[in-house]
């Protein structure tokens, strides 16, 4: 099983390096469906797995000044309370069965929403760009900080319950809210927010006894070289080819969890 865990980490890391999509969205379903790991343990472990694997990217984006720290702050003002509120709610549930049913349902919904965000990323960006000089959009701009905080709260709750949503879904929301930002800045900003959020949520799950540290180490042993290799090949592939494939895969997995729940 140790080798299988390392291979799973290698595969997911490779896909993330290849497409920039699919960390939690692939790892958590793989742990639950293929390895039979309980949803609570899978989500808990994957949160810390995501925090560690994304740390390397943060340094690169920060050095190139591609992180909008003010926007990260607005997101965290919502997502940290959202995560802590959700952790407190989970602790109040009676029995692991209730927790895992809620996690399965949230995981399915999160995967479906993520797949839509992957499919529609280019269209969302084009639409946001076309509306950025619209008078209505300009009048709404004053409310953007508050909307960003509310968005962060929703992401915090979703990520804490499913370990999915901080990547592709967070990026899509930033495109809508901040259409003037460049795509690298959006990715860098979302990445920093995701690292902090998954670290906080993962620490909360660890305190609840959900994190399997041995499993986490095996996954990281495979994923870190996988990301490196995937990134090497990813620069040669067109997003128009990979995004529909990833979107379809996430949609199928998400619907499976929704139906099962």
Q: Where are the domains of the chain?
A: 2-260
Q: How confident is the model at residue 237 (pLDDT cuts 50, 70, 90)?
A: low
Could you tell me if 183 and 66 are in contact, meaning their C-beta atoms sit under 8 angstroms apart? no
Q: Average model confidence (pLDDT) for the chain?
A: 85
Q: What is the mean pLDDT of residues 220-228?
A: 86
Of 228 and 3, more confident: 3
What's residue 22's pLDDT? 61
Lowest mean pLDDT among 10-14, 138-142, 150-154, 181-185: 138-142
Of 83 and 252, more confident: 83
Report the candidate in 171, 181, 180 with the shortest Cα–Cα distance to residue 151: 171
What's residue 82's pLDDT? 96
Q: Please check the confidence at residue 19 and state whether its pLDDT lies above 80.
A: no
Q: With the C-alpha atoms ordered 202, 206, 207, 209, is the resulting torsion angle positive or negative?
A: positive
Q: If DSSP states are collapsed to H, E and C, what string results for 44-76?
A: HHHHHHHHHHHHHHHHHHHHCCCCCHHHHHHHH
Q: Percent of the chain, pLDDT > 90?
A: 35
Q: Percent of the chain, pLDDT > 70?
A: 88
Q: How far is CA 249 from the centre of its chain?
A: 16
What's residue 207's pLDDT? 94
Lowest mean pLDDT among 113-117, 152-156, 190-194: 113-117
What's residue 64's pLDDT? 84
What whole-number distance in Å separates Cα of residue 148 and Cα of residue 145? 5
What's residue 176's pLDDT? 85
Of 241 and 219, more confident: 219
Q: In degrees rounded to 5, what are phi and psi of residue 73?
A: -60, -45
Measured from the Cβ of residue 43, the count of other Cβ atoms closer than 10 Å reads: 32
Per-residue model confidence as pLDDT tens digits over 59-74: 778 888 889 999 999 9
Is the pTM higher than 0.95? The answer reads no
Q: Please check the confidence at residue 252 and state whether its pLDDT lies above 70.
A: yes
Q: Please check the confidence at residue 235 and state whether its pLDDT lies above 60.
A: no
Q: How far is CA 198 from the centre of its chain?
A: 8
Q: What is the mean pLDDT of residues 10-20?
A: 77
Per-residue model confidence as pLDDT tens digits over 189-204: 988 999 999 999 999 9
What's residue 200's pLDDT? 96
What whole-number distance in Å separates Cα of residue 103 and Cα of residue 17? 27
Q: Please check the confidence at residue 101 and state whether its pLDDT lies above 70.
A: yes
Q: What is the mean pLDDT of residues 1-18?
A: 84
Q: How far apart are the first and last CA of the chain?
A: 27
> Which residues 6+ apart lie within 8 Å of 65 measured at CB?
none
């Amino acid at each position: 099983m140790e080798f299988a865990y390392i291979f799973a980490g290698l595969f997911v890391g490779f896909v993330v390096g290849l497409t920039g999509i699919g960390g939690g969205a692939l790892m958590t379903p793989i742990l639950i469906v293929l390895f039979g790991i309980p949803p609570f343990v899978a989500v808990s472990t994957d949160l810390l797995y995501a925090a560690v694997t994304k740390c390397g990217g943060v340094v690169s984006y920060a050095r190139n000044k591609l992180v909008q720290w003010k926007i990260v702050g607005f997101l965290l003002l919502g997502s940290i309370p959202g995560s802590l509120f959700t952790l407190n709610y989970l602790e109040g549930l009676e029995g692991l069965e209730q927790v895992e049913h809620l996690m399965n349902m949230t995981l399915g919904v999160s995967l479906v929403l993520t797949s839509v965000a992957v499919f529609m990323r280019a269209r969302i960006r084009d639409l946001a760009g076309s509306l950025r000089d619209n008078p209505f959009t300009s009048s709404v701009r004053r409310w953007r900080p508050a909307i960003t905080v509310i968005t962060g709260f929703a992401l915090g709750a979703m990520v804490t319950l499913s370990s999915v949503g901080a990547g592709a879904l967070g990026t899509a929301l930033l495109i809508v809210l901040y259409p003037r930002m460049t795509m690298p800045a959006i990715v860098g900003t979302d990445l920093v927010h995701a690292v902090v959020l998954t670290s906080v949520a993962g620490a909360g799950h660890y305190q609840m006894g959900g994190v399997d540290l041995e499993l986490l180490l095996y996954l990281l042993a495979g994923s870190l070289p996988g990301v490196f290799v995937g990134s090497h090949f990813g620069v040669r592939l067109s997003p128009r080819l990979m995004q529909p494939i990833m979107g379809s895969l996430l949609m199928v997995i998400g619907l499976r969890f929704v139906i099962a729940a």
